[in-house]
Amino acid sequence: MFGTSWRVGRIAGIEVRVDSSWVVIALLITYSMYLQVSQVYQDISAGEAVWIGVLATVLFFGSVLVHELAHAVVAQARGIRVQDITLFLFGGATRAKVESRGPGDEFLIALVGPLTSGLLAGLFGIVTGLGRDVLSRPLAGTFGYLAWTNLLLAGFNLVPGFPLDGGRLLRAALWRATGSLARATRVASMAGQGVGWLLVAAGVAWLLAGDLAGGIWFAFIGWFLVQAARSSYQDLQLQQLLRGVEAEAVMASDLVRIPPELSLQEAVDDYFMRYDHSGFPVEEGGRTIGLLTLRGVRRVPREQWPTRRVRDHMVPLNEQVVVAPEARMDGVVGKLQDGQANRVLVVEDGEVVGIITPSDLTRWLRRWQALDSSAR
Ligand SMILES: [Zn+2]
């Protein structure tokens, strides 16, 4: 769903990332604030207008970050691990595995976001009121604007369309009522798609009425919501499918083993160029002692390949992510997504019996889909 994102820091043990789309939006907001401030306050200097534009943008994204942190902190307090927070477009996403815990936790975690935005709106409102005599008029006006923006953020997030917070509240309520997460997600994501299409329609109407910028914004947000609602439902379907599948069924078991004394050049010529694998188990005396990966080889300059040994550039077995053959695939996929290794080894009685990479999973899914559609 996201493009490139950068790690910007860690707050309360949670990794905070910024999506590349954010840069464009930040510039746009700064510029439009600058324009607005210089139009409303005729006597303002250009320098002050730029300064206020930057300040408003920083506080706006700070507000979004605080909203997301509220979700993350409550999730962690309920014992749910949070992967990271990514700020993108004008919003954010907190990645946590809430689904596994039940409707009560999901309700609480979803609710705290809009509540926090409401609280921030109140705070900015108070600053505006108190600062009227102390702050310059443009500055007080900017805080007032931020109060409204946070109120809008709270309101928009409460719209009952999944994956917005309101949609999560709806899903949690349906989940509790029906006892079925799948059915609750289906209805909530249908609502999300419905709301998304409504926004698209409103955007088009606005566009036809002559408001180009407003119309495009609405249509874009609506389209984004439709896509997000659709893909969150598909993710859940996939997760449920994988819950019934064991690692053994998906893993590549046609392992080609490589001796540790080979040079990297021989490993490249006789293994990487010959087989469709990006990693080979290194075997010594009948046991796997490590894994030689394409990434590991690439780290060594090409002219040194003939003189370097596989043994010195393999990743030891104990540094690999390992699962049992009967591990459920939904958990394995979680490990594939978490780790930077991009690969899970399937180990039985201390011996590597298979490897699962994202492409093994894709291949398995393609076979499954082909069989599933022919069975219908
Ligand atoms: Zn939220």
Q: For residue 6, what is the enclosing H or E element?
A: strand 5-11
**DSSP codes joined into one string, 205-218:** HHHHTT-HHHHHHH
Nearest to 264 by CA among 306, 318, 211: 306
Dihedral angle, C-alpha 64, 66, 69, 71, nearest 10 °: -70
| pLDDT at res. 2 | 46
How far is residue 264 from each of residues 269, 272, 282, measured CA to CA in Å?
9, 10, 12
Which parts of the chain have pLDDT scores under 50? 1-2, 376
| pLDDT at res. 208 | 92
Are 85 and 16 within 8 A, CB to CB?
yes
How far is residue 120 from each of residues 66, 83, 115, 148, measured CA to CA in Å?
9, 25, 9, 10
**DSSP codes joined into one string, 243-310:** HT-BHHHHSB-----B-TTSBHHHHIIIIITTSS-SEEEEEETTEEEEEEEHHHHHTS-GGGTTT-BG
CA distance 139 to 152: 20
pLDDT per residue over 328-360, tens digit each?
888 888 778 766 567 888 988 878 888 888 888
Please tell me the distance between residue 17's alpha carbon and the centre of ligand 1 in angstroms: 16
CA distance 369 to 376: 11
Q: State both tokens at 227.
A: 């896509």
Please tell me the distance between residue 76's alpha carbon and the centre of ligand 1 in angstroms: 15
User: Residue 303 catalytic?
Assistant: no
| pLDDT at res. 363 | 85
Backbone angles phi, psi at 259, to 5 degrees: -75, 145
How deeply is 372 buried, as exposed, middle or buried, from its count of CB atoms within 10 A (0-12, 13-18, 19+)?
A: exposed
| pLDDT at res. 177 | 94
Please tell me the distance between residue 241's alpha carbon and the centre of ligand 1 in angstroms: 28
Please tell me the distance between residue 113's alpha carbon and the centre of ligand 1 in angstroms: 4
Within the chain, how many helices (H) and strands (E) appear? 12, 10
Active-site position among 68, 106, 248, 283? 68
DSSP 8-class letter at 21: H
| pLDDT at res. 200 | 93
